[in-house]
Amino acid sequence: MELKRENVLIEALPYMQEFYASIMVIKVGGNAMVSTQIMEDIIKDIVLLRYVGIKPVIVHGGGPEITEKMERMGKKAEFFQGLRITDDETMEIARMVLVGNINTKIVSLIGIFGGKGVGFTGYDGRMILGHKQAAKRVLVDGVETEVDIGWVGDSEVINPEILHIMLEKGYIPVISPIAVDAKGNALNINADTVAGDIAAALKAKKLILMTDVSGLLRNIEDPSSRISRVNLDQIDSLIEEGIIRGGMIPKIKGAAVAVKSGVEKAHIINGSVSHSMLLELFTDGGVGTMLYGPDHPPV
């Protein structure tokens, strides 16, 4: 039975009270990067969060757009164990797409819908300091070979000071997942990982990872098999059972690191479903998968 509008608002009230003045880190990626309508709906929801007293921080990806731009420039995208092999030229293309296109587009949309957005990379305020990943060892025809995946990095230190300043002034920070190493080189870092690291550094109340599926599914072919709540202690067994697999593994592991580091709860939701973030945050049932630890069990 459809809820009356006033009942929906009443159901949302205790959540609004609980979340008021709290920080939430939202990773936007997947279909949102290639669909104007989906992106507009997500940004409207994020601006709404700001107007009800929540302090959102956006981290965005852009893999599909980077691949498309590379192909248009006559360069083939190559991957190793799910990571984009990033040589000098690919790094320049990634910066062009992430900073020059996607980041500015999101900041512009925030302004259109009544908010104040400001764009950042890891260079700004030395926010994301990292190091280049070591060469990977792999067996090729029985022979161990090293594969250098280029300027792909891991974050070491997150300096959140500039984010706190912007949040206190009412801005919505929009962060591209590009870090800087000790020598000033740019590093391409997985956006889910960056979002988790930033959420931990900010002591965020929530980390929200938007993807292309409705959370963690017991059966990937059956949307109704969604697991709505996962305890940190369940992760290893769910990986062993094959329920957490493929691209969901880094999302879950990144979310787990954030929760272990002080983020109260992490949520994995389908960003292509209209207003899924609001439904996950402000309704009793939710629409995604919530990850929690022993310090903050679900009520």
Residue type, 274: S
Our CA angle for 105, 109, 115, nearest 5°, is 130
Is 63 marked within a binding site?
yes
Query: Cα separations (Å) of 49 from 52, 139, 162, 248, 267?
Result: 5, 49, 20, 26, 16
Show the tokens assigned to 26.
Answer: 């939202």
Is 262 marked within a binding site?
no
Distance CA 230, CA 290 (A): 6
Chain-centroid distance of CA 170 in Å reads: 21
Is the Cα dihedral 171, 176, 177, 178 positive or negative?
Answer: negative
| Residue 27 falls in which region: left (phi positive, over 0), alpha (psi -120 to 50) or beta | beta
Strand 79-80 to strand 83-84: parallel, antiparallel, or no bridges (unpaired)?
antiparallel
Is 62 marked within a binding site?
yes
Binding residues for substrate: 62-63, 84, 188
Binding residues: 62-63, 84, 188
